[in-house]
Amino acid sequence: MRSVSDRSRALKGSPIRRLVPFATAAKKRGIHVYHLNIGQPDIPTPESFMRGVREADIDVLSYAPAPGIHATLEALIAFYADMGVALSDDEIRITIGGSEAFAFALQITCNPGDDVLVPEPFYPNYNGHAVMNGINIVPITTKVEEGFHLPPIEEIREQVSPKTKAILFSNPGNPTGVGYTRDELKGLVDLAIEHDLFVISDEPYRELMYEGHATSILEFPELGERAILVDSISKRLSACGARIGCIVSRNPEVIAAVDKLCQIRLSAPTFSQLGLVSFLNDPDYATAIEDIRTQFHSRRDTLFEALQTIPGAVCRKPEGAFYIFVKFPQIDDSEEFVKYMLNEFDLDGETVMVAPGAGFYATPGVGHDEVRIAYVLEESKLLRAVEILKAGIEAYAASREGAVTTAG
Ligand SMILES: Cc1ncc(COP(=O)(O)O)c(C=O)c1O
């Protein structure tokens, strides 16, 4: 029997979704599960977007043009102009979510065997695309105690080799919520210029920043053709299912390659592109995004404060996105802990699912005492979830002690 490719076998399942069958089993037993494991918010998608989808006057649901519907591209160019970034229509293409945009960015910038520097913990799907394209992720480890901000640039420079082609990061970050300062980004920008590297900045959470301003990579004109912006409406519009993102580059060779990839994948969803035109043409669109940001801001503060009630929890208040990455000294194996919460624990018929930390690192052996919590539910549910988590951590620690004592 022929086996599948080595790359397919090397591919790891998403640490965010891999344990979902245990949640399904818990629900079958009648347990209510608070899902804080996945970045799927419960906030309604803005009405102007939904109206655009509902009122689309279409007889034939045809393919959209490969680079994107003209009106959608125009509306996005106006959106970036509102942000203070001038783009021409040669510099932007619509993709199937940010996911396709960073997959394109990796495929276009790297040959198999090339290295990409990525601050860890990082969004695990980078790893999947790196594996499928034979690209090596070289991690730059960041720490909870430092709020996951970058180490000094000299330490990052030590990781650059002749094989390094790009620096890739999300800002504000998933899974940490870190929002890099302008100075941190300037350090990366200068390093990229010094070593002739691409900078791939993944910014789906750019509008979800609660402390200061989220600096876009497009705010560094000196980067010129080396900058690649990966963007998405999934999070800032609470429209994950729309599957609409975009890739922006001022490099004609990059855009020419994006065009070919767009052609071989045909098109991004038509209805969603029409929904986005309707949203961006609404004069109040910025208020709708601000409403979503305000809700997440309040949830962040509520969750952060509640987490302080769990003994030993180590976390810094994240600046953006909608995640908190927390270290718990009571947890020695966060994957086992997540399974324990789903298989063995409940508080009055309820439990919590979070994402285990190790899957967000490339460095082996790190993150086993950490979990990512997504504040995608309303505040009363977050408070209840922390209550359950606190009780679960206590019970887990006691059960591990019991196991050690019995074994000893
Ligand atoms: C950092 C980051 N980049 C990209 C994505 C992909 O988003 P989408 O493909 O829905 O735009 C996500 C989704 O969670 C993310 O967290």
C-beta 95 within 6 A of ligand 1:
no
Q: Report the predicted TM-score, pTM, of the whole model to 2 decimal places.
A: 0.95
Question: Tokens at residue 5, please?
Answer: 């490719």
Ligand 1 atom closest to Cα of 123?
A: 1
Cα-to-centroid distance, 98 and ligand 1 (Å): 5
Residue 170, H or E segment: strand 164-170
Read off the pLDDT of residues 336-353 as tens digits, 9 standing for 90 and up: 999 999 999 999 999 999
Cα-to-centroid distance, 334 and ligand 1 (Å): 23
Read off the pLDDT of residues 244-259 as tens digits, 9 standing for 90 and up: 999 999 999 999 999 9
Cα-to-centroid distance, 280 and ligand 1 (Å): 20
Question: Tokens at residue 234, please?
Answer: 């999934």
Residues in the chain, how many? 408
Q: How confident is the model at residue 403 (pLDDT cuts 50, 70, 90)?
A: low
Read off the pLDDT of residues 138-161 as tens digits, 9 standing for 90 and up: 999 999 999 999 999 999 999 999
Residue type, 356: P
Cα-to-centroid distance, 12 and ligand 1 (Å): 17
For the CA atoms of 101, 103, 105, 108, the dihedral, rounded to the nearest 10 degrees, stands at: -130
User: Kindly report the CA angle at 118 between 117 and 122, in degrees rounded to 5?
Assistant: 165
Positive or negative torsion for Cα 300, 305, 310, 311: positive
C-beta 184 within 6 A of ligand 1:
no
C-beta 234 within 6 A of ligand 1:
yes
Q: In a 3-state reduction of DSSP, which class is residue 285? A: helix
User: Kindly report the CA angle at 122 between 120 and 123, in degrees rounded to 5?
Assistant: 170
pLDDT at 408 over 50: no
Backbone phi, then psi, for 61, in 5-degree steps?
-80, 85
Q: Which domains does the chain have, with CATH numbers?
A: 6-44+287-402 (3.90.1150.10), 47-281 (3.40.640.10)
C-beta 97 within 6 A of ligand 1:
yes
Read off the pLDDT of residues 382-394 as tens digits, 9 standing for 90 and up: 999 999 999 999 9
Q: Under a CB-based contact definition with an 8 Å cutoff, are residues 248 and 47 in contact? A: no
Which one of 16, 125, 205, 217 would you pick to mutate in the ligand 1 pocket, going by the greatest count of ligand atoms within 8 A of its CB?
Answer: 125
Q: Under a CB-based contact definition with an 8 Å cutoff, are residues 248 and 119 in contact? A: no
Predicted local confidence at residue 12, as pLDDT: 84
Cα-to-centroid distance, 349 and ligand 1 (Å): 32
